Structure 1
């Protein structure tokens, strides 16, 4: 049994190591390409470690396009949506989980059913609506819908709240606490780990979003970071200036990498919590 267990562990470790190589190799290639000379990009055999390193592309990317404004716009959208949207999502989860009101369950099922609606089916009507009120080429279409919450987060937090006894809520009501007081003093402190994990994942999704910005944004100064990177690709790929494109891509990756390294414990906990609570 010990030999079999050791063999199984070795096989699993080898498979995980192989998967890690396939996931890390593109990132490593992206960074090494950003510090290569343009001719070295097409060298055969490929050079994983360039000699010498060329870091001038990291200076050029700030001159070739509105990279700084793209970073600023992405932060504006991601922070405003995740902060306000997390508040509204947690309030909705509290209401659906612990409050009793008419048609609560049908409304929640209708809300969950919206997950089955593909975004392309509502893309054109939504664009026409925002166009009529003059929101096209502004950040408002990217911000305002998210302020009302995220269905996935509502569902996740509702499942998490199911483990909190209703007697705790009833006791707080007997003591004279309002519903918002119950939420702020009892519910939110209890669900804070789950909220933190979902907020981080939502922030990463908004930061990497490309489809919605490409629909609504036209002006270079209004573009988010992903659109700026796409313009770099469209402009400089023809000139085979791949080191410049990869340098911009590395810059766009750094914030997400920092967020993951700082909050990786919360992200892993969210996966564990969803498995237990679900």
Structure 2
């Protein structure tokens, strides 16, 4: 919108955005509301948006019922290594593709982007048998190792940000006698904090909410992550209040991470030209 946009149009746009935000936010509100209800209040008619009485015991019960403490630790362990691997590998590959001229660079970049159009379902079965041949089923290796090999989306995100930085930075550092690894670590990596923050949020959300990967590769309950903990909780036929309490526990870290890194996340996305 601009200053010349007619007032009725502005009002309609704001109303549309408010309604859209309400539709998107209401399921989260209902989840939190249900998690604070007693068993009787869950089935009350008409439904209560504000629980009466408010019962925090659901969180304590669900935390102890299916070993949520263990599942939370497992999720944080996987997510931490995934973020380290993704941020490091994507930044290194993107720096090489953006700063160095070599034969086949464009072909490599285009081929990498083309992998984004391959559905995950196509590679799911071959990938499973590869990890099976390596004897890594029922371990975290299939969930962690791929992040250290770079990802097309993350490389593209970092590549676009690095390309937006002045090339003179690299040339000046070379003249001063700095090696490419030193230029990357001392100059470009600190300047890439917004893009790294954006990639970090995407990686955290993808790894934290990943249900299919752990469901395929993990069989032992002590290795379960929080999404699998929710599925296991559901299989126990617990009441809806306990199930929503588990969902709140699972969702809360993602919300906190996004709120903390929101400024850097938005700046990183805007700087890479991926907004729209």
TM over 0.5: yes
Match of 1:204 in 2: 205
Paired residues for 1:1-278 under 5 Å: 5-236=6-237, 239=238, 241-275=239-273
8 Å contact from structure 1 (residues 66, 220) kept in 2? no
What is the rounded CA distance, in whole Å, between the counterparts of 2:236 and 2:274 in structure 1? Answer: 48
What is the rounded CA distance, in whole Å, between the counterparts of 1:152 and 1:73 in structure 2? Answer: 25
C-alpha change, 1:4 and 1:169, in structure 2 (3 Å) is: closer
TM-score in terms of structure 1 length: 0.93
What is the rounded CA distance, in whole Å, between the counterparts of 1:97 and 1:171 in structure 2? Answer: 16
- 1:70-121 CA deviation, whole Å, 9 max, x = no partner? 1111111111111122111111111000112221111111111111111111
After TM superposition, the runs of 4+ consecutive aligned structure 1 residues lying more than 3 A away are 274-278
- 1:120-179 CA deviation, whole Å, 9 max, x = no partner? 111111111111221111111100011112211111111112222333322322222111
8 Å contact from structure 2 (residues 59, 242) kept in 1? yes
TM-score in terms of structure 2 length: 0.93
C-alpha change, 1:262 and 1:97, in structure 2 (3 Å) is: same
What is the rounded CA distance, in whole Å, between the counterparts of 2:86 and 2:266 in structure 1? Answer: 22
Q: Give the CA deviation at 1:41.
A: 1.6
How many residue pairs are counted as aligned between the two chains?
275
8 Å contact from structure 2 (residues 82, 203) kept in 1? no
What is the rounded CA distance, in whole Å, between the counterparts of 1:273 and 1:3 in structure 2? Answer: 27
What is the rounded CA distance, in whole Å, between the counterparts of 1:93 and 1:277 in structure 2? Answer: 19
8 Å contact from structure 2 (residues 86, 154) kept in 1? no
- 1:191-245 CA deviation, whole Å, 9 max, x = no partner? 2211112112211111111111111011111011111011111222xx5x01000
8 Å contact from structure 2 (residues 194, 265) kept in 1? no
Is 99-108 or 74-83 further displaced after alignment? 99-108
Give structure 2 stretches of 5+ with no counterpart: none
